[in-house]
A and B are shown apart, each in its own frame.
Chain A
């Protein structure tokens, strides 16, 4: 989560004090990302150093009384950031994937049972997020979007577990052909080489 750009976004509506920025940040993320006031001021100081925001000149104190406004450079930086996709080309080292891959190597381990333990945990998490969504009943748009993002992410994990379950079952019935030798780099990149 880029606190830096979130603060620029809030300041693009008009000049604001630090304390108000924190309140609006938390409200804007459906209070899913709590932020302490120290983080707000450190980030504002850096933004000021980089010329992306300015504060009231006559007030040197780092206090809730200090008011900030976005500069032209700040607005440009914000617009660029909004349109730059985050780097999703390298798969993250996924601990869950690694556990399932390792389970395949351990003699006497029922991989389906390992998979089910993870599936149950993820579905329980999803139940908790859905409770939040249900209780809010669509009133808070930011909260609804943040909870949906979490639910879709966890849903993808369950789908992968389901697919892994099926693939492993099939592989047990008919052993696959030997792996191709020309893919070691990709296997390393995806974590498939334990």
Chain B
């Protein structure tokens, strides 16, 4: 679903040059969650914005659903972002003047779906996340955990194939973080490919595969996880 081929990103030039990413290759199949784990400044957020076509790589290729982003027009890319890619950022990015349901329905409406249909789809996504009774509340009337769930509903509404999340549990407590990761995981079980960048090992441990990034390079990754029996079988 998402493929990065030897992607590099360089900011600035001369003495002020910063190599944010160095020849990063990464493949994320439909139905799987990959966590990119690294300290701040390791290039993980840059990786995410490039994967989401919000920023262009200096070199290398980015393919979403088999399509090379470099060969797409601005309009096509904008459409891809609206239709296929869901974003969840640390600060949620909800529009303060819209209700929860309107925020969730917005990407569909922007894409030409009728207002009523978009609203219905938005309500369904909110209901799935246990927020049906908060649908007509504005962001400032919601708790941090509720705002984050609205942001996730907005990211998965419609027919998204790729979910990109940057520290998706932000400053949430561990119970709310769990709920957020459970939702992203549920979306993956329905075929969505997800990339979660984080410095938090507990968040990363929800992923099918954890990729470790240091100084703009992928240095290591976890082995495919054995089943839980390997832990529960141990006699302590």
Residues of B within 8 A of A155 (CB): 200-202
* Complex contact B225–A123 (CB within 8 A): no
1/0 per residue, CB under 8 A from A, across B172-213: the answer is 001000100010010000000000000111101111001010
A131 with B228: in contact, given A124-B222, A124-B223 (CB under 8 Å)? yes
**Closest residue on chain A to residue B225 by CB atoms:** A127
A152 to B175, CA, bound (A): 13
A31 to B202, CA, bound (A): 22
Residues of B within 8 A of A186 (CB): none
Residue among A122, A137, A148, A155 with max Cβ neighbours from chain B (10 Å):
A155
10 further A-B pairs in the complex, CB-CB below 8 A; given A34-B235, A128-B226, A130-B205: A116-B220, A123-B37, A127-B207, A132-B228, A151-B202, A152-B202, A158-B201, A162-B199, A165-B39, A166-B39
Asked if A154 CB lies within 8 Å of chain B CBs, one says yes
Q: What is the CB-to-nearest-CB distance from B215 to chain A, in angstroms, rounded to a whole number?
A: 10
Residues of A within 8 A of B228 (CB): 128, 131-132, 135
Q: What is the CB-to-nearest-CB distance from B75 to chain A, in angstroms, rounded to a whole number?
A: 40
Residues of B within 8 A of A129 (CB): 205, 231
* Complex contact A126–B212 (CB within 8 A): no
**Closest residue on chain B to residue A128 by CB atoms:** B231
Q: Which residues of B are in contact with A by a Cβ distance under 8 Å? A: 37, 39, 174, 178, 182, 185, 199-202, 204-207, 210, 212, 214, 219-223, 225-228, 230-232, 235-236
A134 to B222, CA, bound (A): 19
Q: What is the CB-to-nearest-CB distance from A124 to chain B, in angstroms, rounded to a whole number?
A: 5
Residues of B within 8 A of A133 (CB): 178
* Complex contact B39–A128 (CB within 8 A): no
A120 with B236: in contact, given A127-B205, A135-B228 (CB under 8 Å)? no
Asked if A81 CB lies within 8 Å of chain B CBs, one says no
Asked if A32 CB lies within 8 Å of chain B CBs, one says yes
Which one of B182, B201, B212, B223 contacts A154 once the chains associate, using CB atoms below 8 Å?
A: B201
1/0 per residue, CB under 8 A from B, across A13-34: the answer is 0000000000000000001111
Pairs A–B under 8 Å by Cβ, sample size 11: A34-B235, A119-B212, A120-B222, A123-B204, A125-B231, A126-B202, A127-B207, A128-B231, A129-B231, A133-B178, A155-B201
A162 with B205: in contact, given A128-B226, A132-B228, A134-B182 (CB under 8 Å)? no
Residues of chain A in range 143-186 having any CB-CB distance to chain B below 8 Å: 148, 151-152, 154-155, 158-159, 162, 165-166
* Complex contact A127–B222 (CB within 8 A): yes
> 4 closest Cβ contacts across the A-B interface?
A126-B205, A158-B201, A130-B205, A132-B228
A119 to B174, CA, bound (A): 21
Which one of B174, B202, B225 contacts A124 once the chains associate, using CB atoms below 8 Å?
A: B225
* Complex contact B212–A116 (CB within 8 A): yes
Residues of B within 8 A of A125 (CB): 231
Which one of B174, B185, B200, B201 contacts A122 once the chains associate, using CB atoms below 8 Å?
A: B201
Residues of B within 8 A of A116 (CB): 212, 214, 219-220
* Complex contact A131–B204 (CB within 8 A): no
Q: What is the CB-to-nearest-CB distance from B200 to chain A, in angstroms, rounded to a whole number?
A: 8
Residues of A within 8 A of B182 (CB): 134, 137
Residues of B within 8 A of A158 (CB): 201
Q: What is the CB-to-nearest-CB distance from A133 to chain B, in angstroms, rounded to a whole number?
A: 8
A32 to B235, CA, bound (A): 9
Which one of B39, B202, B207 contacts A162 once the chains associate, using CB atoms below 8 Å?
A: B39
Residues of A within 8 A of B232 (CB): 31-32, 132
Q: What is the CB-to-nearest-CB distance from B234 to chain A, in angstroms, rounded to a whole number?
A: 9
* Complex contact B220–A126 (CB within 8 A): no
A123 with B210: in contact, given A132-B228, A148-B174 (CB under 8 Å)? yes
Q: What is the CB-to-nearest-CB distance from B104 to chain A, in angstroms, rounded to a whole number?
A: 24
Which one of B39, B206, B220 contacts A120 once the chains associate, using CB atoms below 8 Å?
A: B220
A135 to B202, CA, bound (A): 16
